[in-house]
Amino acid sequence: MKNPLLEKSKVVCPICGTIRSKPIGEHIRTEHGEQAFIQAVLDAKRAGVNDAEIGERFGITFRQLEHIVTKAYGMNLSVLSRPKRIRSWAPPSFQLETTTVWSFKQRGNWATHDGRYRGNWSPYIPRNLILRYTQPGDLVLDPFVGGGTTAVEAKLLGRKCIARDINPACVELTLENLRFSPPHTLFSESAVYEPEVSVGDARHLHGIADNSVDLICAHPPYASIISYTSSIDGDLSQLSVPEFLREMGAVAAECYRVLKPGRKCAVLIGDTRQRKHIVPIGFETVGVFLRAGFRLSEMVIKRQHNCKTTGFWCERSVKHNFLLLAHEYLPIFEKPVSGMVPEANAVIPSPVAVRIQPPAKSVASPETTTVWVFPPEELEGLTSANIAQRYGGHLIGHVPNRSTTVTLEDYTREVQVLVADVLRTSQPGEFIVIQARDFRAGKYVLPVAKAVVDALGQNPHLWIKEIVITAPNDSSAEPIEDNLRIVHQYLLVYEVVQ
């Protein structure tokens, strides 16, 4: 269809063969009908034309293209070509993650894994969870299995697996991805278990007994950020954020019911942005699972590497003062062995408010995403310089070398008092940046940043603008311990409003 002699602004109509100016969507629709238009879009997609070019050629948005593909195939596929041959059975030189920042530059394409199902998670995530928290023969549940990533990993690692999805087309895709026989050498110490894959709603885990599952790996939709089906009843990706959080309450209750006491439930979840301000779906979802009775064992930050950090996006990020979302949260919950466990106190550095001075000289390449990773020796300096340049205003940080043993409630109350004080001298449009860090208290993690966001959510003069993650880029090998080393901090950026 593509003629190299054509000008970039022209294209041949795939139906009547006439040369037309882009976009040709309107022409195809009026001259050849809606069905021909949809077929032409799908043909271009199947031929490997990239999404941006399809948008330009047919005059449709990315959302409309997703809708056409999802409707035609019953699921949200990024590419329509058939799966490829298996080239390897395991990731090269795999090592368990040892800190709270997980970053997989290559998403992983061993066995049948690929990025065809839109929004699927990197197989490194379930691999880490399964190897850290289960033994061969244990039972893993994925109630939102999508394209089958968790089920494939469970099968490769000799674990039993129950995999469900609301969408029958996902069950088909998962079964297709499970159609392999791994070489025997992979399983010297365990048998191969074929996962049980079926259509099901994560809010009602029918047929799964109470206290029967050893690990839950859950990757729900992030409300309606990506639409997974066009019309299936019960698809959580069709819901608004408040509706989504309400339904996740039912998911958390079911996960709690089926999990064995003392075992883990991990949930990958991300934030969204509305009117240039963050909507903290991640922290809200953590709240939903804590209210269901879970305790927080780990708070992992998963870096995303698919966001643009140069050129057009970089300029927009600075011009319109917003950061590109570059992280998701992977809270790992535990079902306590004995019902109610009282919250332990933690030793937390005392908060203090300071005015941010303008930077002595501007930062050469200011950060444009929500993850700021710097060499350990420059972490403090570059973080401060970036805050000063982008936000000015006030910072609520920590007093160096002064820690107090407090409950989470006491700590957030102290922060609220400081914020109220700062607000007395602040103008609308200014920013208040709050530095926060999660701390381990006894067996569990105190989600300090989430608690601060919850507490300040009540304040009518503050509108949360960004949640930034800062961390050292120190990738030196860490010993594998029972817990992950907490290496990240948060910058909670608030805009002062009337």
Ligand X SMILES: C[S@@+](CC[C@H](N)C(=O)[O-])C[C@H]1O[C@@H](n2cnc3c(N)ncnc32)[C@H](O)[C@@H]1O
Residues that bind ligand X (CB under 6 A): 117, 119-121, 143-144, 146-147, 149, 164-167, 170, 201-203, 219-221, 228-229, 234-237
- The Cα 485–Cα 97 span in angstroms is 10
One-letter amino acid identity for 179?
R
Place of tokens 């941006």: 52
Residue closer to ligand X, measured from CB, 158 or 221 = 221
- The Cα 327–Cα 28 span in angstroms is 40
User: Shortest Cβ distance from residue 181 to ligand X (Å)?
Assistant: 21
One-letter amino acid identity for 43?
D
User: Shortest Cβ distance from residue 144 to ligand X (Å)?
Assistant: 4
Closest CA to 88 of 67, 74, 108: 108
Residue closer to ligand X, measured from CB, 248 or 326 = 248
User: Shortest Cβ distance from residue 396 to ligand X (Å)?
Assistant: 34
User: Shortest Cβ distance from residue 200 to ligand X (Å)?
Assistant: 6
Residue closer to ligand X, measured from CB, 215 or 373 = 215
- The Cα 84–Cα 61 span in angstroms is 29
Place of tokens 């991640």: 282
User: Shortest Cβ distance from residue 165 to ligand X (Å)?
Assistant: 5
Residue closer to ligand X, measured from CB, 66 or 201 = 201
- Could you tell me the two tokens for 294? 């879970």
Residue closer to ligand X, measured from CB, 218 or 346 = 218
User: Shortest Cβ distance from residue 162 to ligand X (Å)?
Assistant: 12
- Could you tell me the two tokens for 175? 């079964």
User: Shortest Cβ distance from residue 179 to ligand X (Å)?
Assistant: 16
- Residue closest to ligand X (Cβ): 146
The SS3 of residue 461 is coil
- Could you tell me the two tokens for 31? 């001259």
- The Cα 5–Cα 8 span in angstroms is 9
Closest CA to 333 of 412, 253, 436, 415: 253
DSSP 8-state class, residue 105: S
The SS3 of residue 136 is coil
Residue closer to ligand X, measured from CB, 120 or 370 = 120
Residue closer to ligand X, measured from CB, 14 or 143 = 143
- The Cα 11–Cα 21 span in angstroms is 6
